[in-house]
Amino acid sequence: MRVLGVDCGSTSTGVGILESDGRGTRVLHYGAIRPGRSQPFAARLEHIHRELERLVARFHPQSIAVEQVFQAYNVKSAMQLSQVRGVVLLAAARAGLTVSEYSALTVKRSVVGTGRAEKHQVQRMVQRLLALPGVPEPTDAADALAVALCHLREETTRQRLARNV
């Protein structure tokens, strides 16, 4: 099972690709897509979309996992994030990948064990769980790995439950 986790942002979109074979989880790639701030917004979206398509072509994930945009952001940044999210969902649909969305609460609960975890605790747990030498940088990449990890755990649970029914 391979998943591409994405942490949407118009100046930096974090990405992380994980593979799970049922026994363990392997990090295949992580980083951030950073279109130049001086570009028009449409060109930034195009840059993000093109890089996502490259990652999908290179790593062949079966699904994309994204965090739900938190509605309590200020409206302007929620709208900017949503435009990025639109092209992320489009990349998934064009490649025939499933899209799974998780709330920030679910990601924290899944990775740290509590929905009240701080951002740096999530990043530390991502490092530990994936046996990385340090906290993944940039932090957007760590956030993308967190949502990918959350997806693998939720998916494994769903599959176990389905088998027991």
* Smallest separation, CB 132 to its own copies (Å): 30
Closest to 138 (Cα-Cα) out of 5, 7, 28, 32: 32
94 versus 119: smaller Cβ distance to its own copies: 94
Decide if residue 11 touches its own copies (CB under 8 A).
no
From 85, 108, 151, 153, residue interacting with its own copies (rule: CB under 8 A): 85
Return the HEC string of the chain. CEEEEEECCCCCEEEEEEEECCCCEEEEEEEEECCCCCCCHHHHHHHHHHHHHHHHHHHCCCEEEEECCCCCCCHHHHHHHHHHHHHHHHHHHHCCCEEEEECHHHHHHHHHCCCCCCHHHHHHHHHHHCCCCCCCCCHHHHHHHHHHHHHHHHHHHHHHHHHHC
Is 87 a binding residue for its own copies by CB under 8 A? The answer is yes
Question: Would you count residue 69 as binding its own copies (CB under 8 A)?
Answer: yes
Pick one of 93, 128, 137, 158: the residue that binds its own copies (CB under 8 A). 93
Of these, 80, 106, 110, 123, which contacts its own copies (CB under 8 A)? 80
- Residue closer to its own copies by CB (options 8, 146) is 8
51, 67, 143, 155: the active-site residue:
67
Backbone angles phi, psi at 150, to 5 degrees: -55, -45
Residues 21-40 that bind its own copies (CB under 8 A): 40
Q: Which of 7, 51, 143, 155 is catalytic?
A: 7
Q: Which residues are catalytic?
A: 7, 67, 140
Residues binding its own copies (CB under 8 A): 40-43, 45-46, 49, 69, 71, 75-76, 78-87, 89-90, 92-94, 99
